[in-house]
Amino acid sequence: MGDRIILAIKSIDNDRRYEMKKLLLALLGFLLSCSIVSVAGASEDLMKKAQTLFKEIPQTVPEIKGKSFTPEKIALGKMLYFEPRLSSSALISCNTCHNV
């Protein structure tokens, strides 16, 4: 008789553990879905803010008053942009980080 009572108690404990696991998994799923929704909303807000701050990249080089762009100046700028000897290690050019 005592063994039956112990088995019944163990069975109840196992049922409670199973129900607790189900509850915790459901809670975890709910919390994850809430965080995904909030991140999606935040990224939309961030995109709208970025669109108000930044403009499209112009197709042509903008003119600067009193300065003219010559093929020589453009070639010099390109050469300097890709020149690694300008860095402190002499190994990194602007293009290393700002790959165009």
Model pLDDT for residues 9-20, shown as the tens digit of each residue: 666 667 777 788
Residue 81 · residue 95 · CB < 8 Å: yes
Whole-number mean pLDDT of the chain?
82
Considering the domain architecture, whether residues 66 and 84 belong to the same structural domain is answered as yes
In angstroms, rounded to a whole number, what is the distance separating the alpha carbons of residues 77 and 99? Answer: 15
Nearest to 97 by CA among 43, 30, 84, 88: 84
pLDDT value at residue 2: 59
Using one digit for the tens of pLDDT, what is the confidence trace for 54-84? 888 888 877 888 888 888 998 999 999 999 9
All residues at 6 or more sequence positions from 96 whose CB lies less than 8 Å from its CB, including other chains: 84
Considering the domain architecture, whether residues 9 and 33 belong to the same structural domain is answered as yes
Considering the domain architecture, whether residues 27 and 73 belong to the same structural domain is answered as no
CA dihedral (30, 31, 32, 34) in degrees, to 10, reads 90
Out of 33, 54, 75, pick the residue that ends a domain: 54
pLDDT value at residue 97: 92
Question: Helix (H, G, I), strand (E, B), or coil: what is residue 88?
Answer: coil
What's this model's pTM, rounded to 2 decimal places?
0.40
Q: What residues make up the domain containing 91? A: 61-100
